[in-house]
Amino acid sequence: MANVAVIGAQWGDEGKGKVVDWLASRADIVVRFQGGHNAGHTLVVGGETYKLSLLPSGVVRGKLGIIGNGVVIDPEALLDEIARVEGQGLAVGPDNLRVAENAPLILPLHAALDKARETARGERKIGTTGRGIGPAYEDKVARRAIRVCDLAEPATLSAKLDELLLHHNTLLAGLGAPVFDKAALLAALLALAPRLLPFAEPVWERLDEARRAGRRILFEGAQAVMLDVDHGTYPFVTSSNTVAATAASGAGVGPGAVGFVLGIAKAYSTRVGAGPFPTELVDATGQMLGDRGREFGTVTGRRRRCGWFDAALVRQAVKVGGIHGLALTKLDVLDGLPELRINTGYRIGDKIFSRLPAAPGAQAAAEPIFETIEGWSGSTRGARSWADLPAQAVKYVRRIEELVEAPVTLLSTSPERDDTILVRDPFEG
């Protein structure tokens, strides 16, 4: 049996929630390995809708959830999320949720700095959620982060706050934002400690034991490859590595433990916030895709920009993300369109590129090279086998496979969990 890592193959919001939920029902452990509460997964189970940002999706299925060391954790946001899902009837406690003791914390000063910087950028805003994820990762790399384990040592916590406030209050004051008081922050963290520490442990030990015992582990990624801080459309990216290789370092396992990498992609393209989007549609078709697909961010609430499927971009994500197979979602949104377009490459000036260049100016100037394909008149919604699909819909999926150089191993045809066509079981490798 293989473990499975799930990552987004576009700019996020590809419908990972449903796919992860489907896989989580067959896993023993579900691990979040990067990102923060800027990510969002929506799960619909038994008529109940769960909106998760930090909790691994497996908790909805009664599986052990683990938040790895690669995640930056806002303790208030985590505890609020636990309370919210408990209000929906789920039980979440140290018996079914474990948190890496070496995971960095997001503090209120991180969010304040995030927002102040974004305001200072003016028209050059990146589109950050303002939740402090970037500044928290900066502190981790600068070796001044407060981690979960520090909550157990008041003296360590106090000393670290001195260093942290020296840095952040200087920046906040320079940006004209209010500064933070050490005593208030220290008191708040010490009050949170007895609520958070019961979840903490060296999760790498538990995962090593699980791997040796042959238990199925699902590694759950946030955001997507094209938001990766190294490989995405920089600087319009998130602050962590989103590729599957991060599942190992962000959970504390060896790279061989990651297993099958499943990339999630919509049958069209969407993006939230600023940044290049070569196939974006700013016409009635783009509006229609957004309306049909209910394209609003789970976390941000912002409407997503919509466009045609970008095969060149997904092919790039397949290669740098280590993707073995794709889960294609929201095929039903395209039902009834007389023709569809797929981007196969980019034209920048008089040059043709098969990939999206790294330079921001080139990315902004990239024009899509479209291939037109006939649409279908029948419905794909709710299909559970290839035989249920219109012939032209099958041709569309097959053409995507050819262009992205990866097989479609799972096809989602509605938000309902069971409306799924399984071609290859990721857990079988």
> Which positions are annotated as active-site residues?
13, 41
**263 SS3 class:** strand
What are the tokens at 233?
Answer: 């459309």
For residue 320, how many other CB atoms are within 10 A of its CB?
Answer: 17
Cα dihedral sign, 165-166-169-171:
negative
What are the tokens at 27?
Answer: 């896993």
Q: Cβ-count burial of 186 within 10 angstroms (0-12 exposed, 13-18 middle, 19+ buried)?
A: middle
Residues 6+ apart with CB under 8 A from 95: none
Rounded Cα distance between 118 and 129, Å, is: 10
Rounded Cα distance between 219 and 32, Å, is: 6
Rounded Cα distance between 52 and 407, Å, is: 29
Q: Cβ-count burial of 393 within 10 angstroms (0-12 exposed, 13-18 middle, 19+ buried)?
A: buried
Residue 50 contacts residue 43 (beta carbons within 8 Å)? yes
Q: How far is it between the farthest Cα atoms of the chain?
A: 68
Residue 413 contacts residue 335 (beta carbons within 8 Å)? no
Rounded Cα distance between 388 and 156, Å, is: 61
